[in-house]
Amino acid sequence: MTAVRTDLLEQIEERIRNRFGLRLPPHRRAALVAELTAMDSQANPHRPALRLLSGDRPALARVAAALTNPETYLFRHGEHFAALGQLARQRRAAGRPTAVLCAGVSTGEEAWSAAAVLADAYGTAPGAFSVVGWDLNPGSLATAQAGVYGSWSAREGLKSHDRWFERTDAGWSVDPSLRSNVVFKERNLLDEIVEIAPFDAIFFRNVAIYWPRSTTRVVVDRLARILAPEGAFFFGPSDPIELPGWHREFIGVAMVYRRTDPQAPRVVQRRAARVAPQPSQAPAVDLSEVERFANLGQHARALEILTSRGTPTSCDELLWLGILRLNTGEPNAATRAFRRCVYLHPERADYHQWLALALRLAAEAGHP
Ligand X SMILES: C[S@@+](CC[C@H](N)C(=O)[O-])C[C@H]1O[C@@H](n2cnc3c(N)ncnc32)[C@H](O)[C@@H]1O
The amino acid sitting at 155 is: R
Q: Which stretch binds ligand X (CB under 6 A): 17-25, 43-51, 89-97, 144-152?
A: 17-25
Q: Which stretch binds ligand X (CB under 6 A): 36-44, 54-62, 71-79, 250-258?
A: 71-79
Coil vs helix vs strand at 40 = coil
Q: What sign for the dihedral angle of Cα 194, 197, 199, 202? A: positive
Q: How far is the CB of 211 from ligand X (least distance, A)?
A: 7
**What's the DSSP call for residue 175?**
-
Our finding on whether 11 is near ligand X (CB under 6 A) is no
Q: How far is the CB of 67 from ligand X (least distance, A)?
A: 9
**Binding pattern to ligand X, positions 187-226, x when CB under 6 A?**
xxxx--------------xxx-------------------
Phi, psi dihedral angles at 285 (to 5 degrees): -80, 140
The span from the CA of 136 to the CA of 120, in Å, is 29
What Å distances lie between residue 355 and 111, 248, 335, 342, CA to CA? 32, 33, 6, 8
The span from the CA of 17 to the CA of 105, in Å, is 19
CA 9 centroid distance within chain: 30
Our finding on whether 321 is near ligand X (CB under 6 A) is no
Q: How far is the CB of 19 from ligand X (least distance, A)?
A: 8
**Binding pattern to ligand X, positions 19-38, x when CB under 6 A?**
-xxx----------------
Our finding on whether 137 is near ligand X (CB under 6 A) is yes
Q: Which stretch binds ligand X (CB under 6 A): 80-88, 102-110, 121-129, 307-315?
A: 102-110
Phi, psi dihedral angles at 223 (to 5 degrees): -65, -35
Q: How far is the CB of 145 from ligand X (least distance, A)?
A: 14
Coil vs helix vs strand at 288 = helix
Taking residue 115's Cβ as centre, other Cβ atoms within 10 Å add up to 28
Contact 63, 93 (CB under 8 A): no
Q: How far is the CB of 109 from ligand X (least distance, A)?
A: 7
Q: Is 29 exposed, middle or buried (0-12, 13-18, 19+ CB in 10 A)?
A: middle
Comparison of 187 and 345: residue with beta carbon closer to ligand X: 187
Q: How far is the CB of 100 from ligand X (least distance, A)?
A: 12
- Among 80, 354, 68, which residue's Cα sits nearest to residue 203? 80
Q: How far is the CB of 283 from ligand X (least distance, A)?
A: 40
**Binding pattern to ligand X, positions 151-190, x when CB under 6 A?**
------------------------------------xxxx
Kindly determine how many residues on this chain lie close enough to bind ligand X according to the rule CB under 6 A.
26
- Among 286, 289, 348, which residue's Cα sits nearest to residue 315? 348
Our finding on whether 75 is near ligand X (CB under 6 A) is no
Our finding on whether 280 is near ligand X (CB under 6 A) is no
Q: What is the contact surface with ligand X in residues (CB under 6 A)?
A: 20-22, 68-72, 76, 104-106, 110, 134-137, 140, 187-190, 205-207, 236
